[in-house]
Amino acid sequence: MEKRIDGKAIAAAVRGQVKTDTAAMKADGITPGLAVVLVGDDPASRTYVRNKHKDCEETGIYSEVHHLPDSTSQKDLMALIAELNARADIDGILVQLPLPKGLDEREVINAIAPDKDVDAFHPENVGHIMIGDYTFLPCTPSGVMEMLHHEQIPVDGKRCVVVGRSNIVGKPMAMLLLHENGTVTICHSHTQKLKEICQEADILVAAVGRPKFITADMVKPGAVVIDVGMDRDENGKLCGDVDYAAVEPIASRITPVPGGVGPMTRAMLLKNTLTAARLHHRQAQPSDRE
């Protein structure tokens, strides 16, 4: 069996299904719509937004990008979100993070209508994830679960360790593993005996944002290693939170960087947008663009 989990191939399969589902919705007079808000000119954010727009074009989802200058005020940004909340032709709203200094991310996230929150960052959606009756899931953790399912890697009864406790990845990742009956430990900067805890993991998820942080001596032989990181090494080369070259011989399955979790994050955004469209058009009413 191939050790490397090919996120590009799995994401392509997800996009293919989204394209099929979108065509069926359009046949019923419904065009799913996604609005992406980008504030400022961060190069990485611009790349992410451009790729998301490309994914929408490929799958037939209507997409529009609102690119605002970094001088945009909180008031103007909130006004745009209110406008998008009110539009019947927009099913999903995504505000690209991080925002420039001076803008309140929490206020912005809280202002997005929960039924259009395709990032699943709104507190209402976070609460639903906690109790397991969610409509939307955060794109990166749900992408990881999609990979595990696709590769038929069981979670039930396994020791799962998540390194990183961010609201975007670490915490929801732990909840999704728990929902599938994994025994989950979350590690962070205050965790004692981190290496020993990681060595116990059947499934190890690295989401700490530090290049090659997970080394070979932290991984149990035969573990499944999921690398969520997107970093640069000492030579400026793209890498993850896992020292891939050292860990790959030890792991039973492992995700590469690039080509692992990253493509899945974008694919799951498309799925969330379709979910939002179905939610908004339960009676198959034509969208405003038809």
Average pLDDT over residues 231-240: 91
Of 71-80, 133-142, 231-240, the one with minimum mean pLDDT is 231-240
Of 117-126, 166-175, 228-237, 238-247, the one with minimum mean pLDDT is 228-237
Instruction: Quote the CA–CA distance of 57 and 48 in Å, as a whole number.
Output: 14
Asked whether the beta carbons of 125 and 137 are under 8 A apart, the reply is no
Instruction: State the amino acid at position 213 in one-letter form.
Output: F
Annotated catalytic residues are: 52, 96, 119
Residues constituting the chain: 290
When comparing pLDDT for 282 and 230, which is higher?
230
Check whether 91 has a pLDDT greater than 90.
yes
DSSP-derived pairing of the beta strands 231-232 and 238-239: antiparallel
Residue percentage of the chain with pLDDT more than 70: 97
Cα-to-chain-centroid distance, residue 195: 26
Asked whether the beta carbons of 273 and 287 are under 8 A apart, the reply is no
Check whether 109 has a pLDDT greater than 50.
yes
Please give the CATH topology (third level) of the domain spanning 139-262: Rossmann fold (3.40.50)
Q: In terms of Cα–Cα distance, which of 267, 265, 215 is closest to 240?
A: 215
pTM above 0.85, yes or no: yes
pLDDT tens profile 244-275:
999 999 999 999 999 999 999 999 999 999 99
pLDDT tens profile 136-168:
999 999 999 999 999 999 999 999 999 999 999
Q: Do domains 30-113 and 139-262 have the same CATH topology?
A: yes
Instruction: Quote the CA–CA distance of 167 and 100 in Å, as a whole number.
Output: 19
Check whether 290 has a pLDDT greater than 90.
no
Q: In terms of Cα–Cα distance, which of 99, 90, 102, 88 is closest to 121?
A: 99
In this prediction, residue 234 has a pLDDT band, given cuts at 50, 70 and 90, of: confident
CA trace torsion 147, 149, 154, 159 (10° rounding): 40
Instruction: Quote the CA–CA distance of 229 and 1 in Å, as a whole number.
Output: 24
Instruction: Quote the CA–CA distance of 274 and 271 in Å, as a whole number.
Output: 5
Q: Domain 30-113 is classified in which CATH homologous superfamily? A: Leucine Dehydrogenase, chain A, domain 1 (3.40.50.10860)
- Whose tokens are 């060595």? That residue is 199
Check whether 80 has a pLDDT greater than 70.
yes
Cβ-proximal residues to 46 (8 Å cutoff; 6+ apart), any chain: 38
- Domain residue spans of the chain: 30-113, 139-262
Q: Where does the chain have alpha helices with state H?
A: 7-27, 43-59, 74-86, 105-111, 123-131, 139-150, 170-179, 194-198, 244-247, 261-280
